[in-house]
Chain A
């Protein structure tokens, strides 16, 4: 029996390693291609590694794909959005988890129900609304929604986490004369830091990687986000694969770095969203 189990574990290990290498393969292929000349990239059969490492592909790619500017543009949208989402989602989650008020069930159902609502359905009226306010060619339409609740999913996540914290803590504080603002900021927020970090990261990923939003609202080339510029780059420089691979590598790097730093919170956040409903 024991031998059998060891045997099957070895088989599973082999499958995981092979499959895992396949999953990592696109990263390897991207990195390797980003250091080749275009002639070598188009060689057939494809060489595994560049014969000469063309490090200058990166500075060259920067001249046609000004990454720093796109990076700053994307950051300009993402940072305020994260702050807005964290703040307003926490407020809403606190009300749903801890306070008692008329129509609570109705609002909760509507807010959570809006999570199932496909974003694509409402883009046109929202776009027309911003156009009438004269704000359609700016970052405002991309940032403001984060300050209006920060997304139903985030509210739900924070609420779930708040529900696991015993009410005795707030009640004790109430008896000591603390108001709800004090309770939220000095007692609850420190306790829910892990979920706030997870929400921060989800919001980062959502805004950093978004394509449809910037496409609709930003037409000025100097104000494009990374994703948007990369899509434009692909249609504009369709055959310059080495620069495209360099640009893709640069675009991926911030996300990989953030993931490696915060993977524990990512995983916790995802687990929380799936299991405690």
Chain B
């Protein structure tokens, strides 16, 4: 291709890319740099910022017990929601992959919670979780157990929110189902010819062939669940006893309810580094357990 033409093409490409690149700079790169700078100050917006050095960070790691509670709560929730969510969605997808009557209807039924406003479903769940009159405790009581203070006691709050979250993982189910349809039939038949049963097929063909899809779902669900916010804001306000004081809620509370912009930025940066390291760790171990048919 001649040089002039290439230059014209490149110019056109940058015109097409301009909005996305402006977005990349103004919504990601510049804000990340700004988070670093602001995190070194004390700033309440009403008054001009005051330079503090690394005091905010020292505070986070030494005296701020909210931070410790928040990290533990977030990890507890995220690990629970990811593990239960993946197992649940994989199981449902495997079952929906069979030829059962009314499959189309049930596929929609399992998927639909995903598209609904999280606040609306949280309100409905909070009513079902209600300790004295809620329907869950009616069932619990009917089975002969004591009523469970689902959202009122710190020991139950996170598991309750995990159940509610797992209910909404329709997107994972759909991705798993699509993956299952790409598992080669001939491999499954080969196991049958060798005398293997359904478990052998599942364990030695389906699961290995599905590892790339499992990995994809794993990553998106780790990133989504670490950023949990709605239930902490709309249902529990971080309580009871900090048990649902998730990171994003803590950042929101420091920044927008208490106007500690500097401190909130320091928290944001710690949160960012934490997620980045975790993602790197997951990616670096992925080579060991993912099977790519092409390699």
Convert A131-150 into 0s and 1s, putting 1 for each residue whose CB lies closer than 8 angstroms to a CB of B.
10000000000000101111
Q: A33-B127, A107-B21, A211-B118 are known contacts. Are A118 and B226 too (CB-CB below 8 A)?
A: yes
Q: Is the CB of B108 within 8 A of A263?
A: yes
Convert A57-101 into 0s and 1s, putting 1 for each residue whose CB lies closer than 8 angstroms to a CB of B.
000000000000000000000000000000011011011100111
Q: Is the CB of B108 within 8 A of A121?
A: no
Interface of A is mostly: helix
Please name all residues of chain B whose beta carbon is closer than 8 Å to the beta carbon of A114 when the two chains form the complex. 24, 28
Please name all residues of chain B whose beta carbon is closer than 8 Å to the beta carbon of A275 when the two chains form the complex. 175, 178-179, 182, 213
Please name all residues of chain A whose beta carbon is closer than 8 Å to the beta carbon of B119 when the two chains form the complex. 209, 211, 226-228, 230-231, 251
Q: Interface size for chain A: under 10, 10 to 19, 20 to 34, or 35 or more residues?
A: 35 or more
Please name all residues of chain A whose beta carbon is closer than 8 Å to the beta carbon of B255 when the two chains form the complex. 123-124, 127
Please name all residues of chain A whose beta carbon is closer than 8 Å to the beta carbon of B111 when the two chains form the complex. 259, 263, 266-267
Please name all residues of chain A whose beta carbon is closer than 8 Å to the beta carbon of B57 when the two chains form the complex. none
Q: Is the CB of A94 within 8 A of B16?
A: yes
Q: Is the CB of B17 within 8 A of A92?
A: yes
Q: Is the CB of B109 within 8 A of A24?
A: yes
Convert B1-35 into 0s and 1s, putting 1 for each residue whose CB lies closer than 8 angstroms to a CB of A.
00000100110111011011111101111111011
A269 to chain B, nearest CB (A): 9
Complex: A163 Cα to B38 Cα, angstroms: 41
Q: Is the CB of B128 within 8 A of A95?
A: no
A11 to chain B, nearest CB (A): 10
A35 to chain B, nearest CB (A): 14
Please name all residues of chain B whose beta carbon is closer than 8 Å to the beta carbon of A258 when the two chains form the complex. 115
B38 to chain A, nearest CB (A): 6
Please name all residues of chain A whose beta carbon is closer than 8 Å to the beta carbon of B92 when the two chains form the complex. 16, 19
Stretch at the interface among B58-66, B79-87, B131-139, B153-161: B131-139
Q: Is the CB of A155 within 8 A of B112?
A: no
Question: Does chain A have a CB within 8 A of B217?
Answer: yes
Q: Is the CB of A125 within 8 A of B31?
A: yes
Interface of B is mostly: helix
Question: Of the candidates A148, A180, A255, which one forms a contact with B115 in the assembled complex, judged by CB atoms under 8 Å apart?
Answer: A255
Complex: A12 Cα to B198 Cα, angstroms: 13
Question: Does chain B have a CB within 8 A of A236?
Answer: no
Complex: A248 Cα to B122 Cα, angstroms: 9
Question: Does chain B have a CB within 8 A of A102?
Answer: yes
Please name all residues of chain B whose beta carbon is closer than 8 Å to the beta carbon of A188 when the two chains form the complex. none
Complex: A227 Cα to B225 Cα, angstroms: 19
Q: Is the CB of B117 within 8 A of A124?
A: no
Q: A16-B95, A230-B117 are known contacts. Are A29 and B24 too (CB-CB below 8 A)?
A: no
Complex: A149 Cα to B18 Cα, angstroms: 8
Please name all residues of chain A whose beta carbon is closer than 8 Å to the beta carbon of B98 when the two chains form the complex. 9, 12-13
Question: Does chain A have a CB within 8 A of B96?
Answer: yes
Q: Is the CB of B216 within 8 A of A124?
A: no
Q: Is the CB of A126 within 8 A of B100?
A: no
Please name all residues of chain A whose beta carbon is closer than 8 Å to the beta carbon of B198 when the two chains form the complex. 8
Q: Is the CB of B35 within 8 A of A95?
A: no
Question: Does chain A have a CB within 8 A of B116?
Answer: yes
Near B by CB (< 8 A), chain A positions 26-63 give 26, 29-30, 33, 41-46
A20 to chain B, nearest CB (A): 5
Question: Does chain B have a CB within 8 A of A244?
Answer: yes
Please name all residues of chain B whose beta carbon is closer than 8 Å to the beta carbon of A230 when the two chains form the complex. 117, 119-120, 123, 234
B101 to chain A, nearest CB (A): 7
Please name all residues of chain A whose beta carbon is closer than 8 Å to the beta carbon of B227 when the two chains form the complex. 118-120
Q: Is the CB of B120 within 8 A of A95?
A: no
B145 to chain A, nearest CB (A): 15
Please name all residues of chain B whose beta carbon is closer than 8 Å to the beta carbon of A19 when the two chains form the complex. 92
Q: Is the CB of A20 within 8 A of B174?
A: no
Question: Does chain A have a CB within 8 A of B167?
Answer: yes
Q: A120-B248, A145-B27, A148-B27 are known contacts. Are A128 and B20 too (CB-CB below 8 A)?
A: no
Q: Is the CB of A248 within 8 A of B123?
A: yes
A81 to chain B, nearest CB (A): 13
Please name all residues of chain B whose beta carbon is closer than 8 Å to the beta carbon of A99 when the two chains form the complex. 9-10, 12-13, 16
Residue of B nearest to A154 (CB): B20
Please name all residues of chain B whose beta carbon is closer than 8 Å to the beta carbon of A267 when the two chains form the complex. 111, 174
Complex: A256 Cα to B179 Cα, angstroms: 25
Complex: A114 Cα to B29 Cα, angstroms: 9
Q: A33-B127, A231-B234, A270-B174 are known contacts. Are A101 and B14 too (CB-CB below 8 A)?
A: yes
Please name all residues of chain A whose beta carbon is closer than 8 Å to the beta carbon of B27 when the two chains form the complex. 122, 126, 145, 148
A158 to chain B, nearest CB (A): 11
Convert B224-250 into 0s and 1s, putting 1 for each residue whose CB lies closer than 8 angstroms to a CB of A.
001101100110000000000001100
Question: Does chain B have a CB within 8 A of A110?
Answer: yes
8 closest pairs, A vs B, by CB? A148-B23, A149-B20, A125-B34, A122-B31, A92-B20, A274-B175, A149-B23, A101-B13
Starting from the known contacts A12-B95, A114-B28, A148-B23, 8 additional A-B residue pairs (CB-CB under 8 Å) come to: A23-B113, A89-B20, A110-B29, A145-B27, A211-B233, A244-B127, A252-B121, A274-B217
12 contacts between A and B (CB under 8 A): A19-B92, A99-B9, A100-B9, A111-B20, A111-B24, A149-B20, A149-B24, A211-B229, A234-B126, A244-B123, A259-B115, A275-B179
